C-alpha cells in the first residue's frame, strides 16, 4: 500500500467494509511507508478496532489480536510452556529408564514442540506480515507498556530456554486506546498517531449503507441525523458507531423505511443506542419527538 494515494487507500478500506476519512487514510499510508505502529485513540465504539480488521482484509493477511487488560503480563502476551505435555513427557521418561533418548530430558521438554505461542510471539514469527492489533493498550499497566515498547523498537524477544527470537517480518501494528489511562511519552513517540472522532452525518450514513443489508440511502441518512441529534443530548454514554449499526439493523429488520412513518418504533428501539438507566430515563417520548422533528 505504500505507493497508493489517499483516495486509493480510502477505496480499498471501503472495499473491506471500512469507510475512512482522508486523515485516517493519510495515517494508514504513512504507517505503511515508515513501517511504524499506528496508535488510534477515540471514544469506545467509534471504529478503532475495525481499522485493524479492515487492514487485515486489505493485505489479505492474518489478524492477530492481543486484548489488553489490567494485570496482563508478558507470558500471557508472549508465550507459555505447555506444562501438561511437559509433565506427561517427564512421566514417560521416568517409566522408560532404558530408553536411549532419556538423556537430556530438560532440553527436550523446553523445545519448540512444547512452546505455546501467544499473540506477540506469533506476530513476529509469521513469514507473511500479519496485522497485529493491540487492543485497549491503556488498560494494561506501566510495566507491560515498557515491555511492549521494547518489543516494538527491537522486534525481537528473549526466551531463556531458547534464546533470542528475531522477527521474521515486521507486522502491521495497530494500537487502540480509549483514554482510560495516560500512555507514556515513550510509547507515543514510537507510534504514529490518529484520533478517531464520531463520524459526520454523511460518513455515518455511508457506513450504514456499507454494513447493513437492506438499508436504503434515505433511511441511512435519517438514522445518521437522528444519532447525531442524540449525541448532542446530555447523556452518560454517547452511542458510538457500533450502536448506530445495531439500531439500523433493528429498524431494517422491523421493516422501517422512514422514521417519520413509524415514530413509535424510534422510542421502542432505543435500547440499541442507550446503555444506561439514566440515559433511558432522559429519553422520554417528548425528547424523541423533538429530535425526530429535526430529521429531514
The residue-averaged pLDDT of 263-280 equals: 94
Report the C-alpha gap between 265 and 255 in whole angstroms: 10
Asked, for residue 292, whether it belongs to a domain, the answer is: no
Give tens-digit pLDDT for 170-224: 999 999 999 889 999 999 999 999 999 999 999 999 999 999 999 999 999 999 9
Between CA 247 and CA 138 the distance in angstroms is: 29
Question: Which own/partner contact pairs does 81-85 have at CB distance under 8 Å and 24+ positions apart?
Answer: 81/110, 81/114, 81/115, 81/116, 82/114, 82/115, 82/116, 85/113, 85/114
Say what the pLDDT of residue 103 is.
Answer: 47
Boundaries of domain holding 61:
6-72+120-195
Which pLDDT belongs to residue 93?
A: 67
Residues 145, 207, single domain; the answer is no
Instruction: State the pLDDT at residue 79.
Output: 83
Mean pLDDT (whole number) for 106-121:
76
Same domain, 62 and 134: yes
Asked whether residue 22 is domain-assigned, the answer is: yes
- Full-model pTM: 0.85
Domains contained in the chain, number: 3
Do the strands 192-195 and 38-41 form a parallel or antiparallel pair, or are they unpaired?
Answer: parallel
Mean pLDDT, all residues of the chain: 89
CA–CA gap between residue 42 and residue 48 (Å, rounded): 7
Domain-located, residue 294: no
Return the higher-pLDDT residue of 248 and 155: 248
Given a cut of 60, is residue 269 above it in pLDDT?
yes
Q: What average pLDDT does the segment 246-259 reach?
A: 96
143 or 111: whose pLDDT is higher? Answer: 143
**Range with the largest mean pLDDT of 66-80, 141-155, 239-253:** 239-253
If you average pLDDT over residues 279-294, what whole number do you get? 92
5 or 106, which is more confident:
5
Q: Confirm if 93 and 104 have CB atoms less than 8 A apart.
A: no
Query: Is the pLDDT score of 293 beyond 80?
Result: yes
Query: For 1-52, what is each residue's pLDDT tens digit?
Result: 445 678 889 999 999 989 999 999 999 999 988 999 999 999 988 999 999 9
In this predicted structure, the answer to whether residue 86 has a pLDDT above a threshold of 70 is no
Domain at 134, CATH number: 3.40.50.300
pLDDT at 74: 84
Say whether both 270 and 168 belong to one domain: no
pLDDT above 80 for 113: no
Residues 38 and 90 in one domain: no
Amino acid at each position: 500500500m505504500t505507493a497508493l494515494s489517499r483516495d486509493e487507500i480510502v477505496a480499498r478500506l471501503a472495499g473491506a467494509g471500512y469507510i475512512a476519512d482522508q486523515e485516517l487514510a493519510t495515517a494508514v499510508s504513512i504507517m505503511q511507508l515508515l513501517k511504524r505502529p499506528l496508535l488510534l485513540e477515540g471514544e469506545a465504539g467509534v471504529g478503532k478496532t475495525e481499522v485493524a480488521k479492515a487492514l487485515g482484509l486489505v493485505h489479505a493477511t492474518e489478524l492477530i489480536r492481543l486484548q489488553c487488560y489490567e494485570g496482563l503480563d508478558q507470558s500471557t502476551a508472549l508465550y507459555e510452556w505447555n506444562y501438561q505435555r511437559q509433565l506427561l513427557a517427564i512421566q514417560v521418561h521416568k517409566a522408560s529408564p532404558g530408553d536411549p533418548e532419556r538423556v537430556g530430558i530438560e532440553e527436550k521438554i523446553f523445545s519448540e514442540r512444547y512452546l505455546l505461542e501467544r499473540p506477540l510471539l506469533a506476530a513476529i514469527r509469521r513469514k507473511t506480515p500479519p496485522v497485529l492489533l493491540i487492543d485497549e493498550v491503556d488498560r494494561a499497566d506501566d510495566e507491560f507498556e515498557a515491555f511492549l515498547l521494547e518489543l516494538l523498537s527491537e522486534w525481537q524477544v528473549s526466551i531463556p530456554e531458547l534464546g533470542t527470537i528475531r522477527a521474521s517480518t515486521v507486522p502491521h501494528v495497530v494500537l487502540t486506546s480509549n483514554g482510560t489511562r495516560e500512555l507514556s511519552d515513550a510509547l507515543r513517540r514510537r507510534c504514529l498517531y490518529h484520533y478517531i472522532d464520531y463520524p459526520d452525518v454523511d460518513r455515518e450514513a455511508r457506513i450504514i449503507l456499507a454494513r447493513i443489508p437492506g438499508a436504503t440511502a434515505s433511511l441511512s441518512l435519517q438514522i445518521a441525523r437522528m444519532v447525531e441529534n442524540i449525541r448532542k443530548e446530555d447523556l452518560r454514554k454517547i452511542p458510538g458507531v457500533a450502536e448506530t449499526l445495531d439500531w439500523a439493523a433493528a429498524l431494517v429488520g422491523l421493516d422501517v423505511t422512514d422514521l417519520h412513518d413509524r415514530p413509535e418504533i424510534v422510542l421502542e428501539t432505543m435500547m440499541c443506542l442507550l446503555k444506561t438507566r439514566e440515559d433511558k430515563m432522559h429519553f422520554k417520548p417528548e425528547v424523541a419527538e423533538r429530535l425526530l422533528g429535526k430529521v429531514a
